[in-house]
C-alpha cells in the first residue's frame, strides 16, 4: 500500500510483474520443446554493451563453420548492425529490435526462431540486448547461458550484478589482450564471481587475438554432446 495516498498501485505493479514473468516462463517452455524436437542447442550470450559478444560470434562462426551448422539471433534496441555483421560471415541471422526494451523475451525469440528456421542438429546463438540487468530475468528457452565480461569493466561486476552472474553456466572473460594496460586482477575477479556463482566455468579469452578460444569451443562441444544424449534418451 502507498504510504502517501493509501492507493494499491505498488501492489498492482508487483502482481503485473509476476504475471509478465509467468507468461514469459510459459512461452520459454514452448521454445525449449520446439528446440529439443529439432535437436537444436541454443546458447544465450549476455553482457554489458561492447564486451565483445558479436566479435566472439564472428570468430566462432569462422572457426566452427566446417564442423557445425550455426544460426544467430541478434537483440539490440535499434539498428540491424549486428545481424549485418553476422550475415557478412555467411551465417544466417535474424535481428530483433526491442525499441525501449532492455532485454529479449521468450515471445520475441519464438518469432525469430521460426524466421531463422535453423537446421535440425544445429546450434543457435542468441545475442541478448547489452546490459547486465534485465536479460538475466527472462528465460528464453535456451539450454545454456554464457556471460561475457571484458577486463575493461572492473573486477566488481559479479558482486554488483549478482543476478546476471548467478545465472551463467560459463563466463567468458574477454579482451585479456588488454590486461598489460589495465589494473584488473583476474584472480580477484574469479574470487568475486565464486561468491555469487561457485559453479560457473571461467574462460579467459581474447576475441580479437584468439587467446583461449579453443577452450570455449571445447566447452561448446561438450555441451553439444551432452545435449544430443539428452535428446536421444527423451525420444
**Contacts with ligand GTP, residue ranges (CB under 6 A):** 47, 49-55, 82, 130, 174-175, 177-178, 206-208
Shortest distance, CB of residue 75 to Mg ion, whole angstroms? 9
Direct distance between the N- and C-terminal alpha carbons of the chain, in angstroms, rounded to an integer: 50
Instruction: Count the neighbouring beta carbons within 10 Å of the beta carbon of residue 67.
Output: 10
Question: What residue 128 binds from Mg ion, ligand GTP, none (CB within 5 to 8 A, per partner kind)?
Answer: none
Shortest distance, CB of residue 88 to ligand GTP, whole angstroms? 13
Which of 220, 235, 194, 196 lies closest to 42 in space, CA to CA? 220
Shortest distance, CB of residue 72 to Mg ion, whole angstroms? 10
Shortest distance, CB of residue 1 to Mg ion, whole angstroms? 43
Which of the 8 DSSP states describes residue 133? S
The three cell numbers of residue 5 are 495516498
Shortest distance, CB of residue 69 to Mg ion, whole angstroms? 21
Nearer to ligand GTP, 78 or 226 (CB): 78
Give the DSSP letter string of 163-198: HHHHT-SEEEEE-GGGGGGS---HHHHHHHHHHH-S
Q: Find the binder of Mg ion among 54, 174, 192, 197 (CB under 5 A).
A: 54
Dihedral pair phi/psi, residue 77, rounded to 5°: -65, -40
| Residue number of the CB atom closest to ligand GTP | 130
- Give the C-alpha separation, 220 to 216, whole Å: 6
| Residue number of the CB atom closest to Mg ion | 54
Question: What residue 197 binds from ligand GTP, Mg ion, none (CB within 5 to 8 A, per partner kind)?
Answer: none
Which of the 8 DSSP states describes residue 83? H
The answer to whether 170 touches 223, Cβ cutoff 8 Å, is: no
Nearer to ligand GTP, 39 or 98 (CB): 98
Shortest distance, CB of residue 17 to Mg ion, whole angstroms? 28
- Give the C-alpha separation, 70 to 120, whole Å: 10
Per CB under 5 A, which of residues 65..94 are in contact with Mg ion? 82
Per the DSSP assignment, residues forming a β-bridge with 93 are 72
Say if strands 93-97 and 123-127 run parallel, antiparallel, or are unpaired.
unpaired
Nearer to ligand GTP, 157 or 175 (CB): 175
Nearer to Mg ion, 54 or 150 (CB): 54
Nearer to Mg ion, 53 or 224 (CB): 53
- Give the C-alpha separation, 199 to 170, whole Å: 9
Question: What residue 89 binds from Mg ion, ligand GTP, none (CB within 5 to 8 A, per partner kind)?
Answer: none
Residues that bind Mg ion (CB under 5 A): 53-54, 82
Amino acid at each position: 500500500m502507498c504510504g502517501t495516498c493509501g492507493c494499491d498501485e505498488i501492489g498492482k505493479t508487483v502482481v503485473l510483474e509476476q504475471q509478465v514473468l509467468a507468461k514469459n516462463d510459459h512461452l520459454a517452455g514452448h521454445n525449449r520443446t520446439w528446440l529439443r524436437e529439432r535437436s537444436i542447442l541454443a546458447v544465450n550470450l549476455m553482457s554489458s554493451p561492447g564486451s565483445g559478444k558479436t566479435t566472439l560470434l564472428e570468430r566462432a562462426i569462422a572457426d566452427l563453420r566446417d564442423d557445425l551448422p550455426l544460426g544467430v539471433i541478434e537483440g539490440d534496441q535499434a539498428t540491424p548492425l549486428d545481424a549485418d555483421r553476422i550475415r557478412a560471415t555467411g551465417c544466417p541471422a535474424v535481428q530483433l529490435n526491442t525499441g525501449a526494451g532492455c532485454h529479449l523475451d521468450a515471445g520475441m525469440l519464438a518469432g525469430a526462431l521460426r524466421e531463422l528456421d535453423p537446421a535440425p542438429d544445429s546450434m543457435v546463438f542468441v545475442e541478448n540486448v547489452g546490459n547486465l540487468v534485465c536479460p538475466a530475468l527472462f528465460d528464453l528457452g535456451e539450454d545454456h547461458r554464457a556471460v561475457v565480461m571484458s577486463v575493461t569493466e572492473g573486477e566488481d561486476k559479479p558482486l554488483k550484478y549478482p543476478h546476471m552472474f548467478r545465472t551463467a553456466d560459463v563466463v567468458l572473460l574477454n579482451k585479456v589482450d588488454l590486461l598489460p594496460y589495465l589494473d584488473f586482477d583476474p584472480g580477484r575477479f574469479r574470487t568475486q564471481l565464486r561468491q555469487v556463482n561457485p559453479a560457473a566455468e571461467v574462460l579467459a579469452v581474447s576475441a580479437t587475438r584468439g587467446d583461449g578460444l579453443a577452450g570455449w569451443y571445447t566447452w561448446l562441444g561438450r555441451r553439444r554432446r551432452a545435449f544430443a544424449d539428452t535428446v536421444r534418451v527423451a525420444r
